[in-house]
Amino acid sequence: MTLGTLDLTIILPAFLAGLLVLATHIPLGAQVLKRGIVFIDLAIAQIAALGVIVAGSGDLDPQGWAVQVAAGIAALLGALLLTWTEKRWPDVQEAQIGVMFILAATGGLLLVAHNPHGGEHLQDLLAGQILWVRYQQLLAPLLGTVLIGAVLYFFNERLSRLGFYLIFALAVTASVQLVGVYLVFTSLIVPSLAVRHYADGKRLPLAYAVGAGGYLAGLVLSTLLDLPSGALIVWCLTALAILVYAAGPKPQAQRQAH
């Protein structure tokens, strides 16, 4: 396939799905870095994926509301558990997040062990099937994005730990089934890493530009080269983030400016 024969009807809904994910994940990712709980997104995303696997074992429609609810409940329970562990053992919270991720990941492996299509389903949840997203799948994530975006806009600095974890869980629940666990982590962390030394007023616009550029480049290249979209978007987004970081102010210069 060449650029002249590129099918925009496939790429556009996938790109819109990426923008929906970025809309909430970039501000949440900045908070994750600020709070020093980088791997919380992987843990909660994996827990949400586990909820999808559990619901799927009951022969439910993978795109149905029942699966969405199951993923949401699983993610919310994970968020509540992380809130409790942070209060109980705050000095090892990052380690506890890692343990939760491993338990959720291996729990998913055990649940699909006897399913002939289990490996394929697990791969879809990890790497995602963003290139095959259709417009009708974007309605629920759009509503969730508007709600979460409003909460972050009006209450961002006033969110308690529990409030942050719950909002985070809801955001991750919707995005895992759209783009997969790998892209959830990348969308949250990589743009914020790229712009962390820029001036405050430039960080958010640049982070969105990095995210949108990475998604668009990855989708176009995956279509042209017939490569897995999710994996290629991760690499494109990361490469663009490295360029933006390299072109930005250095940490020492930033400290001297202050």
Q: For residue 14, give every residue at least 6 positions away whose Cβ sits within 8 Å of its Cβ, in sequence order, or none.
A: 130, 131, 132, 133, 219, 229
According to the model, what pLDDT value does residue 195 have?
95
According to the model, what pLDDT value does residue 4 have?
57
- DSSP label of 108: H
Residue 153 lies in a domain: yes
Residue 195 lies in a domain: yes
User: pTM of the full predicted structure?
Assistant: 0.85
Q: Is the pLDDT of residue 258 over 60?
A: no
Task: Provide the CATH number for the domain around residue 82.
Answer: 1.10.3470.10
Residue 96 lies in a domain: yes
Name the residue range of residue 130's domain.
Answer: 3-253
Q: 62-90: per-residue pLDDT in tens? A: 566 777 788 888 889 998 998 899 889 98
| R_g (Cα) of the chain, nearest Å | 18
Question: What is the rounded distance in angstroms from the CA atom of residue 126 to the CA atom of residue 231?
Answer: 10
Q: 150-195: per-residue pLDDT in tens? A: 988 888 777 887 888 888 888 888 788 889 889 999 999 999 999 9
Q: Is the pLDDT of residue 144 over 60?
A: yes
Residue 187 lies in a domain: yes
Residue 258 lies in a domain: no
Helix and strand numbers, DSSP H then E, in the chain: 11, 0
Count of structural domains within the chain: 1
Residue 33 lies in a domain: yes
Q: Confidence class of residue 16 from pLDDT cuts 50, 70 and 90?
A: very high
What is the DSSP code string of 195-234?
A: TTTS-HHHHHHHHHHHHHHHHHHHHHHHHHHT--HHHHHH
Q: Confidence class of residue 1 from pLDDT cuts 50, 70 and 90?
A: low
Residue 194 lies in a domain: yes
